[in-house]
């Protein structure tokens, strides 16, 4: 007989709740994109003894999870519930399982296909005035890849749906034109792949790197802004771009800023990025925010009233990821209280620490501006990866103040700087420690804080 899953107060608890709680912890341990692509698609399935069985959508995600995330997931689950000491990944859909497992161990020269988050589709993307143009362009590209708008360059602020649209293009092409090889990569991954292939002295390594990217029918690169400053990556990207372009292959790129603001960037690359269509994704208005949260509730089967949705959509933030986080938090609290539908009181209570900043306009950019002003450096310098002493200090102070003043996940803070959460944690404790040791420095940091608050 299967063991019942018992908590200390002897009531049976559903694994859904444990998983929800673990997710919040995992979110702090992995990058936002990994979280979206690999973690969010997991569905907890059953408990077998001390093992939590987790269903994954495909063989490739099962492999990635086993290789890269098993330890983190197990440890977060164990923190939530000490009875869980291991996890096992299985493939959700039995038919995929048989088919895909036959294909295991792809040969060296086989094409590398990307998997896409099944929730990031065009159907799940709410269109409003802020993103109408970019959504239409993305759809056109997925219907006729390589034919017009090449490259398609999508840019806009954090959490506005760029990655969602890139995955929607991938999902759509995979479905309607499965013969095409769609490769999705973050700029960071492209960089790491390149570095590895160079480091690995074997010739096959570089050629398999080239094969991977240059054999794509559709190449999607997310967050290209991180290419700034990286010469060898720019060179390799340039060659990849040219080869794909000559062969009329589609290229889709996202960035948090338009090409002319990516600095330093070789001119020949900038001009290529501008060859096709530049489409910016704007800040959603309140109606769009409401519609997105409604869609999200529908997808996640949240039982939330319109009041609660409107309350959350009324928050100052325009970052949809942040709003979704607030919604999930309200739902989670409500679940703990055993409510059948999230009440507005519970939502208020759940979100009371996350300032519902309707009046004071405080977001990361205000903090970055103040830090730059104080240290007399440019924002591009602060966000680039350069390591002069002054810039490094300013960057740590900015990270510290963002984590201190805003309720956003560490991984998201890292994203702003193109760093991981560990760097943010380090910066935070370093600044705290230095403030403790050095009065003058503490006064400086507090002056910046006052400057921010005074805005």
Q: Which of 57, 151, 161, 325 binds ligand ADP (CB under 6 A)?
A: 161
H helix or E strand, kind and range, residue 393: helix 389-405
Contact flag: residue 255 with Mg ion (CB under 5 A): no
Q: Give 48's strand partners.
A: 51
- DSSP assignment of 295-336 equals HHHHHHT--B-HHHHHHHHTSS---HHHHHHHHHHHHHHHHH
With tokens 């896409």, the residue in question is 116
> Binding ligand ADP by CB under 6 A: which of 26, 126, 315, 448?
126
62 contacts ligand ADP (rule: CB under 6 A)? no
Q: Does 320 bind ligand ADP (CB under 6 A)?
A: yes
Rounded CA separation 259/224 (Å): 9
Considering only the stretches 152-160, 241-249, 358-366, 393-401, report the one whose residues sit in contact with ligand ADP under the rule CB under 6 A: 152-160
Q: Choose among ligand ADP, Mg ion, none what residue 126 binds, the Cβ cut-off being 5 to 8 Å by kind.
A: ligand ADP
The nearest distance, CB 101 to ligand ADP, in angstroms, is 30
Extract the runs of DSSP E, i.e. beta strands, from 256-308. Answer: 277-280
Q: Pattern of binders to Mg ion over 129-148, x per CB under 5 A?
A: --------------------
Nearest CB to ligand ADP, comparing residues 295 and 379: 295
**Distance between CA atoms of residues 66 and 73, nearest Å:** 10
Binding residue count for Mg ion, defined by CB under 5 A: 2
163 binds Mg ion (CB under 5 A): yes
Stretch near ligand ADP under the rule CB under 6 A, chosen from 98-106, 142-150, 319-327, 399-407: 319-327
383 near ligand ADP (CB under 6 A): no
Among the listed residues 76, 182, 292, 350, the single contact to ligand ADP using CB under 6 A? 292
Answer yes or no: are the C-beta atoms of 320 and 293 closer than 8 Å. no
Among 58, 114, 131, 172, binds ligand ADP (CB under 6 A): 131
C-alpha torsion 105→107→112→116, nearest 10: -20
Q: Is 319 in the site for Mg ion (CB under 5 A)?
A: no
Q: How far is CA 37 from CA 21, 186, 215, 219, 439, in A?
A: 18, 12, 23, 17, 44
Six-digit token string for 198:
């160079």
Give yes or no for residue 321 binding ligand ADP (CB under 6 A). Answer: yes
**Shortest distance, position 412 Cβ to ligand ADP, whole Å:** 9
Interface residue with ligand ADP among 295, 357, 379, 449 (CB under 6 A) is 295
Report CA Rg, the chain: 23
What single DSSP character describes residue 232?
H
CB nearer ligand ADP, residue 164 or residue 214: 164
Instruction: Let me know if 41 is exposed, middle or buried by CB neighbors in 10 A (0-12, 13-18, 19+).
Output: buried
Neighbour-count burial for 171-196, b at 16+ CB within 10 Å, e otherwise: bbbbeeeeebbbbbbbbbebbebbee
Size of the site for ligand ADP (CB under 6 A): 18
Nearest CB to Mg ion, comparing residues 26 and 37? 37
Query: Segment contacting ligand ADP (CB under 6 A): 154-162, 265-273, 371-379, 444-452?
Result: 154-162
Cis peptide bond prior to 81, omega within 30° of 0: no
Residue number with the smallest Cβ distance to Mg ion: 163
Q: In what order do the strands lie in the sheet with 277-280?
A: 182-186, 218-222, 250-255, 152-155, 277-280
By CB under 6 A, the residues from 224 to 283 that bind ligand ADP are none
Q: How far apart are the C-alpha atoms of 175 and 116, rounded to whole Å? A: 11
Q: What are phi and psi of 55, to 5 degrees?
A: -90, 135
- Indicate whether 170 belongs to the interface with ligand ADP (CB under 6 A): no
Q: CB nearer to Mg ion: give 163 or 318.
A: 163
Q: Which stretch binds ligand ADP (CB under 6 A): 102-110, 156-164, 227-235, 390-398?
A: 156-164
Candidate residues 160, 173, 279, 393; the one interacting with ligand ADP per rule CB under 6 A: 160
- For Cα atoms 303, 306, 308, give the angle at the middle one, nearest 5 degrees: 80
The CB-of-61 to ligand ADP minimum distance in angstroms stands at 17
Q: Is 352 exposed, middle or buried (0-12, 13-18, 19+ CB in 10 A)?
A: exposed
219 binds ligand ADP (CB under 6 A): no
Judged by CB under 6 A, does residue 158 bind ligand ADP? yes
Interface residue list for Mg ion (CB under 5 A): 162-163
Interface residue list for ligand ADP (CB under 6 A): 36, 120, 124-126, 131, 158-164, 292, 295, 320-321, 324
């Amino acid at each position: 007989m299967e063991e019942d899953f018992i908590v200390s107060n002897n009531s049976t608890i559903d694994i859904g709740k444990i998983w929800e709680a673990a997710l919040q912890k995992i979110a702090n341990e992995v990058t936002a994109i990994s979280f979206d692509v690999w973690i969010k698609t997991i569905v907890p399935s059953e408990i077998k003894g001390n093992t939590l069985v987790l269903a994954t959508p495909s063989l490739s995600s099962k492999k990635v999870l086993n290789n890269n995330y098993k330890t983190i997931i197990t440890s977060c689950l164990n923190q939530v519930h000490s009875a869980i000491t291991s996890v096992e990944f299985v493939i959700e859909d039995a038919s995929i399982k048989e088919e895909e497992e036959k294909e295991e161990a792809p040969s060296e020269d086989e094409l590398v296909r990307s998997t896409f988050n099944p929730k990031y589709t065009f159907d799940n993307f709410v269109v409003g005035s802020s993103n109408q143009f970019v959504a239409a362009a993305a759809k056109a590209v997925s219907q006729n890849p390589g034919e017009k708008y090449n490259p398609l360059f999508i840019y806009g602020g954090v959490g506005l749906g760029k990655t969602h649209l890139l995955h929607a293009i991938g999902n759509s092409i995979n479905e309607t034109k499965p013969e095409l090889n769609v490769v999705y990569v973050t700029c960071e991954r492209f960089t790491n792949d390149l570095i590895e292939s160079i480091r690995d002295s074997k010739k096959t390594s570089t050629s398999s790197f080239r094969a991977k990217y240059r054999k794509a029918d559709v190449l999607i690169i997310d967050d290209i802004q991180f290419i700034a400053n990286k010469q060898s990556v720019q060179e390799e990207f340039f060659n990849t771009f040219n080869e794909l372009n000559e062969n009329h292959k589609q290229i889709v790129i996202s960035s948090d800023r338009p090409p002319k603001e990516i600095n330093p960037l070789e001119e020949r690359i900038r001009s290529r990025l501008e060859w096709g269509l530049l489409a910016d994704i704007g800040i959603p208005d309140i109606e769009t925010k409401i519609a997105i949260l409604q869609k999200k509730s529908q997808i996640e089967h949240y039982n939330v009233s319109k009041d609660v949705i409107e309350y959350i959509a009324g928050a100052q933030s325009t970052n949809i990821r942040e709003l979704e986080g607030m919604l999930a938090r309200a739902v989670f609290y409500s679940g703990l209280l055993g409510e059948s539908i999230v009440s507005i009181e519970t939502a208020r209570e759940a979100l009371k620490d996350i300032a519902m900043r309707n009046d004071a306009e405080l977001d990361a950019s205000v903090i970055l501006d103040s830090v730059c002003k104080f240290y007399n450096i440019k924002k591009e310098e602060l966000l680039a990866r350069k390591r002069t002493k002054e810039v490094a200090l300013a960057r740590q102070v900015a990270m510290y103040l963002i984590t201190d003043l805003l309720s956003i996940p560490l991984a998201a803070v890292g994203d702003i700087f193109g760093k991981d959460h560990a760097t943010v944690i380090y910066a935070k404790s370093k600044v705290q420690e230095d403030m403790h040791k050095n009065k003058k420095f503490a006064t400086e940091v507090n002056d910046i804080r006052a400057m921010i608050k005074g805005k």
